[in-house]
Amino acid sequence: MNLLPLPAFSDNYIWMLHDAGQALVIDPGDAAPVLQALDRLGLQLQAILVTHHHSDHVGGIAALCAATGATVYGPAREAMPAGTLPLHGGQQVKALGLSFAVLDVPGHTAGHIAYYANVPEQAPLLFCGDTLFSGGCGRLFEGTPAQMLASLDALAALPTDTRVCCAHEYTLSNLQFARTVEPDNAELAQYQQQCQALRAQQQPTLPSHIGLEQQINPFLRCRVPAVAAAAQAQAPSSCLNPDDAVAVLATLREWKNNF
């Protein structure tokens, strides 16, 4: 299996997975990069997997379906383009000979889903849309801090070698914030240097992997004393209970919103 991040807009990635004949894509907000890649590589588009309803994730679906006849799958609890097959957490999607487990991960949006697959002789894959980013998480546009914490906990429990394929190149800004939260985190400092070198060469920082995110992502580390203490220092009147992971996440997210 070949995994490609197709850049779109200013900082989106449309992920393409292919076996040199058939392909699937995740969250195609723009049809043009997908059609160009299909033509360049001589691929047929079999399926489109959608994580949530935002326009930069669904805007290219109609044109891709018209051009390729691909089957579209998306969250059952969100408004999706006509013809999308609705999915709930716990279901499976079969594509490219793989079985993708559907995970409910609300928070960024109310019905956000993610897709997880074991890949023979390769590390597992997670297509997580805008729920989990490298070094960060999505804004809470529709969901609650408790929902986001539960979603991130579920993703953090996946095998540590799982490749994290998120939908935006936000890594450097996320790591700048993460270093403010945990200035003494050596793994985080090293990862920031690696990512800065990649972006200097105009290379993606993604995919990340779950084991790394457990070490460097403050939103997966809400129960780590140093992270909770940093959030407590930011809370109004320092009234936050550092043992309340939901409150820690809510404070971190509001802090990041204004960072």
Q: Which residues are catalytic?
A: 52, 54, 56-57, 108, 130, 168
Q: How far apart are CA 206 and CA 189, in angstroms?
A: 17
Contact (CB, 8 A) for 163 and 123:
yes
Q: How far apart are CA 244 and CA 121, in angstroms?
A: 40
What 3-state class would DSSP assign to 101?
strand
What 3-state class would DSSP assign to 152?
helix
* Helix boundaries (H) for the chain: 31-41, 55-58, 61-68, 145-156, 171-181, 186-200, 210-216, 225-234, 245-257
Q: Which helix (H) or strand (E) holds 94?
A: strand 92-95
